[in-house]
Amino acid sequence: MRKVLVIGAGGQIGTELVLRLREKLGSENAIAADVKADCPPSLKDGPFVQLDALDREAVRNFIIDQKITEVYLLAALLSATAEKKPDFAWKLNMEGLFTILDLAKEGHLKKIFWPSSIAVFGPTTPKDNTPQRTIMEPSTVYGISKQAGERWCEYYHDKFCVDVRSIRYPGLISYTTLPGGGTTDYAVDIFYQAKLGNKFSCFLEKDTRLPMMFMEDAIRATLDLMEAPAENIGIRSSYNLAGCDFTPEEIADEIKVHIPEFEIGYNADYRQAIAESWPSSIDDSHARQDWGWKEEFNLKDLVNVMLNNVNVDLLTQH
């Protein structure tokens, strides 16, 4: 019997992941938790608890009392925000992970999902078709925390048999919840400005190629990884995962196919250096071999779905 807790459920991944988990397991078996007191409207049909990932005792007590079997630990500061709040980013991104890893080590949890990121790579990493195992010298606080987290996940698996699974997410594109504080966020913001009829000012240069993925692919990958037999999971740090890759100019050109009058301008800021330190494209052959990963959405598909579904009212609700 699976009973899952999604910590950080109010974020971009959490809001969609909880819904899919509830479809699979029944609403009562997928509990949403967030540091914010208000449950996101789309998750109101199931259990919600206010939990701060940094409150070790509260998290421990809840998981033990409720007999949770699986945790998805999504609470984190992303790359751009982490550069502004390095101490807090390190604390949040690491301490919450130890709380959950320790619970699993003590036998209170059967499985853990913890998201990593393409940010684990750095300026010395081969940029094209970046391999699973390669030079990793991240130059951002976020990247350093994700790389350290990956090492700890593998350590807890190897030493204490903790069943922890992870994906190095690329930039995620979705329309139900706005992303917050990432370097890849431009590729979501652009759709809102296009729908509003505004010229979009991009904080990255036009030829900055980054790995990206439509949220539906990311959620399917997460669920498939978590359901794969343990013996198939050959990587306990985190799996490379590719969807598609594009530049700001390429996504703008694809939007112009639907909205010919759409305009984009380029005003690169501090996020340009972050983007330049990351891969342009990812080799995800291990995920394909080990648990059958295959992406479904390319740039054309995701632009189409985004333009049909983005609701500009979300901008005023935040």
Residues designated as active site: 142
Name which of 163 and 276 has its Cβ closer to ligand AKB: 276
Number of amino acids touching ligand AKB (CB under 6 A): 12
C-alpha radius of gyration, the chain, whole number = 19
119 binds ligand AKB, rule: CB under 6 A: yes
Stretch that binds ligand AKB, among 87-95, 98-106, 117-125, 224-232 (CB under 6 A): 117-125
Using CB under 6 A as the binding rule, whether residue 113 contacts ligand AKB is answered as no
Shortest-Cβ-distance residue relative to ligand AKB: 182
Contact present, 178 and 188 (Cβ < 8 Å) = yes
- The yes or no reply on residue 183 touching ligand AKB (CB under 6 A) is yes
Among positions 120-159, residues that touch ligand AKB (CB under 6 A) are 142
Q: Mapped to the 3 state alphabet, what secondary structure does the chain carry?
A: CCCEEEECCCCHHHHHHHHHHHHHHCHHHEEEEECCCCCCHHHCCCCEEECCCCCHHHHHHHHHHCCCCEEEECCCCCHHHHHHCHHHHHHHHHHHHHHHHHHHHCCCCCEEECCEEHHHCCCCCCCCCECCCCCCCCCCHHHHHHHHHHHHHHHHHHHHCCCEECEEECEEECCCCCCCCCCCCHHHHHHHHHHHCCCEEECCCCCCCEEEEEHHHHHHHHHHHHHCCHHHCCCCCCEECCCEEECHHHHHHHHHHHCCCCCEEECCCCHHHHHHCCCCCECCHHHHHHHCCCCCCCHHHHHHHHHHHCCCHHHHHC
Q: In the set 130, 184, 238, 247, which binds ligand AKB (CB under 6 A)?
A: 184
Q: What minimum distance in Å lies between the beta carbon of 7 and ligand AKB? A: 17
Q: How far is the CB of 301 from ligand AKB (least distance, A)?
A: 19
Site string for ligand AKB, 55-94 (x = CB under 6 A): -----------------------xx---------------
Between 63 and 299, name the residue whose CB sits nearer to ligand AKB. Answer: 299
Q: Which listed range, 123-131, 181-189, 194-202, 279-287, lies at the site for ligand AKB (CB under 6 A)?
A: 181-189
Task: Please identify, using beta-carbon distances, which residue of 53 and 167 lies nearer to ligand AKB.
Answer: 167
Least distance in angstroms from the C-beta of 185 to ligand AKB = 6
Selected binder of ligand AKB within 29, 93, 117, 281 (CB under 6 A): 117
* Of positions 10, 46, 96, 171, contacts ligand AKB by CB under 6 A: 171
169 binds ligand AKB (CB under 6 A): yes
AA identity, residue 306: M
- Rule CB under 6 A: say whether 219 interacts with ligand AKB: no
182 binding ligand AKB? (CB under 6 A)? yes
The C-alpha atoms of residue 285 and residue 292 are separated, in whole angstroms, by: 10
49 has which bridge partners? 33
User: Taking the complex as a whole, how short is the minimal distance between the CB of residue 44 and ligand AKB, in angstroms?
Assistant: 26
Complex with ligand AKB: residue 29 or 280, whichever CB lies closer: 280
Q: Given the complex with ligand AKB, which of 184 and 240 has the nearer CB atom?
A: 184
- N- to C-terminal Cα distance for the chain? 37
The residues of the shown chain that bind ligand AKB, judged by CB under 6 A, are 78-79, 117-119, 142, 169-171, 182-184
